[in-house]
Amino acid sequence: MSTTGSGRPRLSLAAVPHGGSLLIIALLCAAGWLVKPAFLSPMNIWAVLAISSLLAVASAGQTLVIVSGNQGIDLSVGSIMTLSALIVSGMAGSSNELLPMALGTVLVLGIAIGLVNGIGMRFLGLYPLVVTLGVSFVVEGLALVYAQSRAPQMPGTLIENIGIGRFLGIPWLVVICALVAVLMTVLLRYTRFGRQLYLVGSNVRAAQAAGVPVTRVLLLTYAASGALAALSGVLLYGYVASANLSIGAPYTMMSIAAAVIGGAALSGGTGTFIGTMLGALIFSLLTNLLITLGLGPALRYAISGLVLILVLFATSRDAN
């Protein structure tokens, strides 16, 4: 992969796993530190890690779907997050006792919505882009009906703690993200499902010929994406301590961006969760840096767009 026959030996970032992302993270940190040394204070590092953990978990399901290939993309992530936050808020409210039931409900619901996505793309032959967009509208509608029948409430101490509490000095969001990272990495690397997923993503016909249960793999993938989106909705509710109908909306596009920056190819078959986590971290560092620089909104939008294109150029350009 690193030898391209151009003769001149190059110091290649591709030799280091996630070299491109790590380099950009180092550059962003250095730039932040130069502007304000407090950029690298423990307080700010934890704040950035907490928000990027939230984004990373929200992008976990998206990573699976993108790896599964076949134009795989999940545009329902944001609306599932919204629905999940609203339901946990409405069902459990400030009570900790009701929380397990609310969590169970949103996870089952997330899986069900994910299955609908999977069935739509696999059995109805619809593009994932179309079916997940359609489903996201339905989910938004459900969220609206739910919010009208049951107003969101302030969270209980458990949820409150997820958002601002720490475990052994580490914010809970970061701890949860680390757990998800272990699970995702084991799933992708060491299980039969993981191997089959990469096969299906790279070449669905070859996978089929090799006896991979393609339908089962795809349905599981979309169901897992739904469940992970539901989980991240709960985390988001903890992060802000209130829920509304547009709370999850930004996460659909950000989850795709984090996965792609992290090296998942939109054509499927490649991508890791560690990569996605680094992608999420780049996102959060960039936002934090631009705020530290104190730039006006217009300049901030333009710069973050440009930097993201540069980042993509460095991390996920197709090697051809």
Residue (244 or 267) nearer to another protein, CB: 244
In 30-169, which ranges are E strands?
Answer: 166-167
Residue (150 or 195) nearer to another protein, CB: 150
| Contact set with another protein (CB under 8 A) | 36, 38-39, 41, 43-44, 46-48, 50-51, 54, 137, 140-141, 144, 147-148, 151-154, 163-164, 171, 236, 239-242, 244-247, 250, 284, 287-292, 294, 297-298, 300
For the CB of residue 273, give the shortest distance to another protein in the complex, in Å.
22
Distance CA 263, CA 28 (A): 18
For the CB of residue 227, give the shortest distance to another protein in the complex, in Å.
21
For the CB of residue 68, give the shortest distance to another protein in the complex, in Å.
26
Sign of the C-alpha dihedral computed for residues 93, 98, 100 and 104 taken in this order = negative
For the CB of residue 9, give the shortest distance to another protein in the complex, in Å.
40
Residue (147 or 212) nearer to another protein, CB: 147
Nearest to 188 by CA among 221, 232, 226, 227: 221
Residue (222 or 239) nearer to another protein, CB: 239
For the CB of residue 254, give the shortest distance to another protein in the complex, in Å.
11
The per-residue DSSP string of 224-247 comes to HHHHHHHHHHHHHHHHHS---TTS
Q: Crossing angle for the helix pair 19-35 and 273-293, nearest 10 degrees?
A: 20
Residue (219 or 289) nearer to another protein, CB: 289
